[in-house]
C-alpha cells in the first residue's frame, strides 16, 4: 500500500496511492493512519482522488480512523470519485464523514 | 439488448482472489451507469469477503464458485462455497439498509455493513445452505 504524505502547516495530508480501498488493504491502511495519529497528528486530510472502488472494509477503516481521532482532532476527506461517493451515500456515511471537493478546501476548512 | 455468455469462475477463497473476481464481474456490468456499477461491484465484493472471512474463516484451501449471467433485463449472480456458511437466520435478519444514529459518533459502524449493502443494491437476493453447499442467488436489474 502506498501513501503520499505532505505536511501543510499543522495539517498532515495523506494521499492513498491505490485504486481500491477494500478488504485487501483496509487493515494496513487503518493501521498506518492510526500510527500517524498516535505520533501526534491531529489535523489530517485524506485525499482519496486515486481511489475508484471502496467496499465496507475500506469504509470501516476510514470510520475507525475518524473515531480514533474523536473530538480531539479532525479528519477531512477530499477527492472523492463518484464511485466512492455512491458508496458513502448508500451507507449514509456522507452524513458523518467531512468531505470536500478539493485538497485545498479540505486543508482550509 | 443482447445476452452475453455466462461467466463462470472458480477462485481460491482469499481476499486477493475475491478482489480479482469482483473486477472480472464488473466487466459484465457495462449496462449500469458508473455509480450503479460501483455499487454492484461493492455488493459482490461484500459477499466474497464474507465467504472468505466467515464461511471459510480465512482458512486456506477453500474455493468459491461464481456464475454470472448478464441478461436482457438484469444480471443474475450465483455464488457457491462449501465452508461453514453463516449462522441460520443471520442472513434473513440482516437489515436491508445501513442504519445508525449519525449524531452519535460511537454508534457509527466500522463493520457489519456487508449484508445490508448487498440487500440494498440487489433487487432480489436469497441465501440457501443445503447439504454442505452455501449458495447466494442475487438479481439486479439494469434499470430501476
Beta bridge partners of B137: B78, B126
Residue ranges of domains in chain B:
7-141
Question: What's the grid cell of residue B5?
Answer: 455468455
Q: Please, which residues have CB within 8 angstroms of residue B142's CB and are 6 or more apart in sequence? A: B31, B32, B73, B74, B75
Question: What's the whole-number average pLDDT of chain B?
Answer: 94
Domain count, chain A: 1
Query: Judged by CB atoms within 8 Å, which residues 2-21 of A form the interface with B?
Result: 20
Q: Residue B2's pLDDT is what?
A: 53
What pLDDT tens digit does each residue of chain A (109 aa) get? Answer: 999 999 999 999 999 999 999 999 999 999 999 999 999 999 999 999 999 999 999 999 999 999 999 988 999 999 999 999 999 999 999 999 999 999 999 999 9
Nearest to B34 among A63, A82, A90 (CB): A82
- Tell me which residue of A26, A73, A17 sits closest to A48, measured CA to CA: A17
Portion of chain B with pLDDT greater than 90, in percent? 90
Question: Could you list the residue range(s) of the whole structural domain that residue A92 is in?
Answer: 3-108
DSSP A64-98: HHHHHHGGGSEEEEE---HHHHHHHHHTTGGGTSE
CA–CA separation, B130 and A65 (whole Å): 40
**Residue A93: burial class (beta carbons within 10 Å; 0-12, 13-18, 19+):** buried
Interchain CB contact of A95 with B (< 8 Å): yes
Portion of chain B with pLDDT greater than 70, in percent? 97
Interchain contact, A91 vs B98, CB within 8 Å: yes
Average of per-residue pLDDT across B36-45: 97
Nearest to B45 among A55, A71, A84 (CB): A55
State the CB neighbour count (10 A cutoff) for residue B75: 23
Confidence label for B1 from pLDDT (cuts 50, 70 and 90): very low
Helix (H) or strand (E) holding B38: helix B34-50
Q: Give the HSE-up count for residue B18: Cα atoms under 13 Å, Cβ half-sphere.
A: 28
Beta bridge partners of A6: A13
Look up the CATH number of the domain holding residue A22.
Answer: 3.30.750.24
Q: Is the pLDDT of residue B20 over 90?
A: yes
Helix (H) or strand (E) holding A15: strand A11-16
Interchain contact, A54 vs B42, CB within 8 Å: yes
Interchain CB contact of A27 with B (< 8 Å): no
Average of per-residue pLDDT across B86-98: 94
Predicted TM-score of the model (pTM): 0.94
Using the structure block, give the residue that is written with the C-alpha cell 453463516.
Answer: B86
Average of per-residue pLDDT across B41-50: 98
CA–CA separation, B61 and B82 (whole Å): 11
Backbone phi and psi for residue B18, each to the nearest 5 degrees, phi listed first:
-60, -40
Q: B126 and B139 in contact (C-beta within 8 Å)?
A: no
Which residues does chain A have within 8 Å of residue B16's beta carbon, measured at their own beta carbons? 24
Confidence label for B58 from pLDDT (cuts 50, 70 and 90): confident
Find the largest Cα–Cα distance for chain A. Answer: 34
In tens, the pLDDT along A76-85 reads 999 999 999 9
Q: What CATH architecture applies to the domain B7-141?
A: 2-Layer Sandwich (3.30)
Amino acid at each position: 500500500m502506498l501513501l503520499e504524505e505532505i505536511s501543510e502547516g499543522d495539517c498532515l495530508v495523506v494521499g492513498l496511492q491505490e485504486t481500491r480501498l477494500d478488504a485487501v488493504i483496509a487493515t494496513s491502511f487503518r493501521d498506518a493512519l492510526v500510527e500517524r495519529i498516535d505520533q501526534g497528528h491531529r489535523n489530517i486530510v485524506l485525499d482519496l482522488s486515486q481511489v475508484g472502488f471502496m467496499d465496507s472494509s475500506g469504509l470501516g477503516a476510514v470510520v475507525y480512523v475518524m473515531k480514533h481521532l474523536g473530538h480531539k482532532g479532525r479528519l477531512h476527506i477530499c477527492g472523492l470519485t463518484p464511485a466512492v461517493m455512491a458508496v458513502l451515500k448508500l451507507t449514509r456515511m456522507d452524513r458523518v464523514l467531512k468531505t470536500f471537493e478539493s485538497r485545498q478546501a479540505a486543508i482550509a476548512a | 439488448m443482447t445476452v452475453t455468455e455466462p461467466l463462470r469462475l472458480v477462485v481460491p477463497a482469499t481476499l486477493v482472489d475475491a478482489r480479482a473476481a469482483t473486477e472480472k464481474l464488473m466487466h459484465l456490468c457495462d449496462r449500469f451507469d458508473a455509480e450503479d456499477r460501483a455499487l454492484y461491484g461493492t455488493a459482490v465484493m461484500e459477499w466474497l469477503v464474507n465467504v472468505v472471512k466467515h464461511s471459510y474463516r480465512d482458512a486456506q484451501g477453500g474455493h468459491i464458485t461464481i456464475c454470472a449471467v448478464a441478461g436482457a433485463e438484469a444480471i443474475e449472480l450465483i455464488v457457491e462455497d462449501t465452508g461453514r456458511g453463516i449462522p441460520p437466520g443471520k442472513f434473513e435478519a440482516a437489515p436491508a439498509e445501513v442504519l445508525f444514529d449519525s449524531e452519535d459518533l460511537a454508534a457509527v459502524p466500522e463493520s457489519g455493513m456487508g449484508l445490508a449493502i448487498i440487500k440494498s443494491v440487489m433487487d432480489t437476493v436469497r441465501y440457501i445452505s443445503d447439504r454442505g453447499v452455501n449458495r447466494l442467488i442475487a438479481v439486479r436489474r439494469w434499470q430501476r
